[in-house]
């Protein structure tokens, strides 16, 4: 066991799940939310030549996905260090 005790292992996993849940909520909101479910109301707003909902479906969601993964990596490296389970 890499952790000092069972309690620490549980807390590590809990923090991991929390980071994951928050990031997946954003993942869902941007793609399925802004790009699909809310596309019509968002299309009333324009961003340069883009209707906003259309932009989320064809551009914005992809940029967000990239950012989400890098935030996840940074967060997890921090948590690994905190619990002393990094490689």
Partner 1 sequence: MDIQTWTFILVGITFALYIGIAIWARAASTGEFYVAGGGVHPVANGMATAADWMSAASFISMAGIISFIGYDGGVYLMGWTGGYVLLALCLAPYLRKFGKFTVPDFIGDRYYSQTARMVAVFCAIFVSFTYVAGQMRGVGVVFSRFLEVDINMGIIIGMCIVFFYAVMGGMKGITYTQVAQYCVLIFAFMVPAIFTSIMMTGNPVPQLGFGGTLADGSGTYLLDKVDGLSAELGFNQYTDGSKSMVDVFFITAALMVGTAGLPHVIIRFFTVPKVRDARISAGWALIFIAILYTTAPAVAAFARVNMIDSINGPDMKGVAAEQAPGWVTNWEKTGLVKWEDKNGDGRMFYSGDERNEMDINRDIIVLASPELANLPNWVVALLAAGGLAAALSTAAGLLLVISTSVAHDLLKKGFKPNMTDKQELLAARLSAVGAVIAAGYMGINPPGFVAQVVAFAFGLAASSFFPAIILGIFYKKMNKEGAIAGMIAGIAFTTAYIVFFKFINPELNTPENWWFGISPEGIGTLGMILNFVVAIAVNKVTAETPQEVQDMVESIRYPKGAGEATHH
Q: Which residues bind partner 1 (CB under 8 A)?
A: 2-3, 9, 12-13, 16, 20, 23-24, 27, 31-32, 35-37, 39, 43, 47-51, 54-55, 57-59, 61-63, 65-66, 68-70, 72-73, 76-77, 80, 83-87
Pairing mode, strands 46-47 and 50-51: antiparallel
Nearer to partner 1, 7 or 48 (CB): 48
Sign of the dihedral defined by the CA atoms of residues 78, 9, 65, 22, in that order: negative
| Residue 5: CB minimum distance to partner 1, A | 13
The CA distance from 68 to 6, in Å, is 30
The C-alpha atoms of residue 14 and residue 55 are separated, in whole angstroms, by 35
CB of 14 to partner 1, least distance (A): 11
CB of 7 to partner 1, least distance (A): 14
């Amino acid at each position: 066991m890499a952790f000092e005790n069972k309690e620490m292992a549980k807390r590590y996993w809990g923090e991991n799940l929390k980071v994951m849940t928050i990031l997946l909520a954003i993942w869902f909101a941007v793609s399925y939310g802004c790009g699909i479910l809310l596309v019509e109301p968002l299309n009333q707003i324009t961003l340069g030549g883009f209707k906003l909902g259309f932009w989320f479906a064809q551009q914005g969601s992809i940029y967000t996905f990239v950012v989400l993964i890098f935030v996840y990596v940074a967060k997890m490296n921090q948590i690994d260090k905190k619990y002393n389970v990094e490689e």
